[in-house]
Structure 1
Amino acid sequence: MKDILLFVMAGCPHCRLALQLQDQLFADHPEWRDIPLKIVDETREPAFADQFDYYYVPTYYVDGQKVHEGHAERADVEKVFRLAAGEPVKS
């Protein structure tokens, strides 16, 4: 399993949607709850967030590689977790 790092911002509707989609995916794939996931609010940890190259939130990194930035649909979030779990990714 690879680590997931998620950058969000308080009050962001796209971030709220991504977190809701994660919860839905966890219900369908409970094993994904074991994937190490760090959620960083960029307004609370700006020095840490500034070390990463992204502009929009939510932004997902898997094992240090940016794999999604900006508004996310269910398929986008599922891809992140499949990559982290080492599972095949649907095109």
Structure 2
Amino acid sequence: MKEIQLFILKGCPHCKLALAYQQELLAERPQWREVPLRIVDERAEADYADSFDYYYVPCYYVGGEKVHEGHAERADVEAVFRAALEENAQIGV
């Protein structure tokens, strides 16, 4: 199992949507709550966020590798969790 890092900006509508999808998926699949998840507000943790190569939020990294950047649909968020669990999933940046 790999750690998920989600980079967000407070007030970003795309980030809010990704977080809502995340909550839906975790409610449906309680076992996914075991996946280590770090949510990084890029304003609050600017130095840390600047050490990563991304431009758009929300941006997901799994095990240190960028797997999704920008507007995310439910299927994209699901693919991120599947990648963290090393299940077969198609994800693209």
TM over 0.5: yes
Post-superposition CA distance 1:22-60 (Å, at most 9, x none): 000011111110000000000111000000000000000
TM-score normalised to structure 2 length: 0.94
| Structure-2 change in CA distance of 1:75 and 1:56 (3 Å) | same
User: What is the correspondence of 1:36-55 to structure 2 with a 5 Å cutoff?
Assistant: 36-55=36-55
Structure 1 portions without partners, runs of 5+: none
Identity, in percent, stands at 63
Structure 1 length-normalised TM: 0.96
Equivalent in the alignment of 2:31: 31
What does 1:1-91 correspond to in 2, within 5 Å?
1-90=1-90
* Runs of at least 4 residues off by over 6 Å: none
Letter in 2 for 1:39: I
Q: Which runs of 5+ in 2 are unaligned?
A: none
Cα distance in 1 for residues equivalent to 2:45 and 2:27: 29
